Amino acid sequence: MRSVSAAETAPTISPWAVQAEGLRVRVGRHLAVDGLDLSLGTGVHGLLGPNGAGKTTLMRALATVVKPADGRLQLLGQPVDGRGNLRLVRRGLGYLPQQFGFYPRFTVREFVEYLAWLKEMPGPAIPDAVQRAIDRVGLTEKADARMKTLSGGMLRRAGIAQAIVNSPEVVLLDEPTVGLDPEQRLDFRTLLRELGVDSCVLVSTHLVEDVVAACTDVILINRGKLVYQGTPDGLVAEGGPDDAGDSPAERGYSALLRRHRAEEVR
C-alpha cells in the first residue's frame, strides 16, 4: 500500500465543512431532497424533520453514498461530483447509517479496526485510536465481545465508535440516540459537545430536546426543502402558546412546520 503524503492529510482551509446549493437527490423516481441550500461549519448541527422529510437521504448524499442528481455539493472544500478528490474527503468523514449491516463474526474492536483501515488511517495509529473511540462511547468492557451478542443500544454505540475513530472533520450521525437509555443519552450529549469543538457534526433525530440540549445550530427540513436554520433559542422563539408540543422547542418546531405546509399549499 502506498503511504499517505503529508499534503493529503493537511487540514483543508475552508470556511464551511459542508456546503450545498440547490442540492437535489433522487430515491428511485422520487426527489427526496429537492433544492436544498445548506452551509455548515464547525459545531453541532441538529437535523430535524418529520418522517419522510429526506433526512436520511440528505445524510447519505453527504456521506458520498449516493450521488446528487443536481446542484452543487462541497465537502471539506472539495466538490463531490467526480472532479474533486473524493478520497481526501472520505478520509475526513465519519458516518453512522440509520441501520448498518451486521458483521456477525466480528468483535467490536475488529469492527472498528476494520473501518479505521477502510478510512486509511496510518497503521501504527490504529490500535490506540480504536481503543480511544471505544472508550469514548462507553463500550470498554464490551470491546472484545462479538457484535451479535450486543444489545441494540450497544450496537448503536459501536456504530458511533467507528464513525469517530478517525477523528473526522465531518461527522454524520443518522438517528444515533435510537436505543440508548436516558443515562447513555446524557453521556452522548456530552460526547457531541466535545466533537463539536473542532469538527462539523450533523445529527439527525426525532427528539427535539436532544437538539436543544446539545446543538449549537438547528436545521429543520420538510419534503426535501430547508424550512429553518438557526439557533435553538431561535427555534423556541418561533412557537406560540397554541402550538402542539410538550416543550417550548417542540412548539417552535410545530409552528415552523405548520407555516411551511401552509405555504406549500399556496
Shortest reach from residue 210's CB to another protein, in Å: 23
Q: For another protein, which is the closer residue by CB, 60 or 142?
A: 60
72: cell is 452543487
How close are the terminal C-alpha atoms of the chain, in Å?
58
Q: For another protein, which is the closer residue by CB, 119 or 260?
A: 119
Q: For another protein, which is the closer residue by CB, 102 or 259?
A: 102
Q: What is the layout of strands, in order, in the sheet containing 170-174? A: 93-96, 170-174, 200-204, 43-48, 217-222, 225-230
Q: Which residues form the interface with another protein (CB under 8 A)?
A: 60, 63-66, 86-91, 93, 95, 97-106, 110, 113-115, 117-120
Shortest reach from residue 205's CB to another protein, in Å: 19
Shortest reach from residue 37's CB to another protein, in Å: 24
3-state SS assignment for residue 220: strand
DSSP strand pairing (78-79 vs 93-96): unpaired
Shortest reach from residue 241's CB to another protein, in Å: 41
Q: Which of 250, 210, 255, 249 lies closest to 232 in space, CA to CA? A: 249
Q: For another protein, which is the closer residue by CB, 178 or 213?
A: 178
Shortest reach from residue 118's CB to another protein, in Å: 3
Q: For another protein, which is the closer residue by CB, 16 or 103?
A: 103
Shortest reach from residue 30's CB to another protein, in Å: 14
Q: For another protein, which is the closer residue by CB, 94 or 252?
A: 94
Asked whether 147 and 112 are in contact (CB, 8 A), the reply is no
> What are the CB-based long-range contacts (under 8 Å, 24+) for 1-7?
4/91, 4/120, 4/122
* Distant-in-sequence, close-in-space partners of 263: CB < 8 Å, separation ≥ 6: none
109: cell is 474492536
